[in-house]
Amino acid sequence: MNIVIVTPPPVEPVTIEEAFVHLRLDDPTEDNPDTAAVRAQIVSAREQCEQITRRAFVQQTLRMTRGPARRRGERRGWDWLVGGGCMAWGDIELLRPPFIEMVSLSYYDDANVLQTVAPADFFVTADLVPRLRFASGYSIPSIYLREDAIRVEYVAGYTPKPADPDADPPVAIDYRANVPASIKQAILLAVQLQYDELTPDKRKALENARDALLSSYRINTF
């Protein structure tokens, strides 16, 4: 299984201004030599915290690929050799929640040709880590025996606050609005861990504080 980011987050969960306040720095302008470094550290900190929690924070489009599901102890390719094709899709967990919406579901058929499944033929459960399942009555197709036989594209992240063009002044879409405050604070601590020169004890204390803030958001799956 593999996950790649097709469309990255349009913004980071914390702003450069918030990071400067946290680091007790002044003047977060592009002329400040610290600005570029802190901006890069925000990206790195967000990626680190996403890995710790196994979540997506700001809206992004993901592509997950995986091969045929196989039972424990089953020899590689057994379904293919016996049945002429592998039918074993299994439920597909849509990792890195929160899930927002599906983009597409496709697969490589017996002839190794990419096919697309119609949206009416599948649905997504409302679990914390949602599962993609086929609709009742749909004839599940067989798939080619390759590690990326199944391709799922979907949008994940905390749902942004919609734009309000009729407001005075107009309000733009806010991608950060629903990212939990504890996650934002953990990202700021992760930035500090990169920026500050810390003693081993201080570093450990900050790492523990970051992990504590993220602990309730950690997804206990792959």
When the pLDDT of each residue in the chain is averaged and rounded to a whole number, the result is 90
In this model, does residue 128 exceed pLDDT 90? Answer: yes
pLDDT digits (tens, 9 = 90+) for 71-101: 444 444 444 444 444 556 878 999 999 999 9
**For the chain, domain boundaries:** 2-57+161-217, 60-156
Q: Residue 152: which H helix or E strand, with range?
A: strand 150-156
Q: By the 8 A CB rule, do 88 and 68 touch?
A: yes
d(CA 53, CA 221): 10
Q: Average pLDDT in the 135-163 region?
A: 93
Q: Average pLDDT in the 39-65 region?
A: 97
Q: Which two tokens stand for residue 142?
A: 């067989």
Greater model confidence, 141 or 207: 207
pTM of full prediction above 0.85: yes
> pLDDT-derived band of residue 131, with 50, 70 and 90 as boundaries?
very high
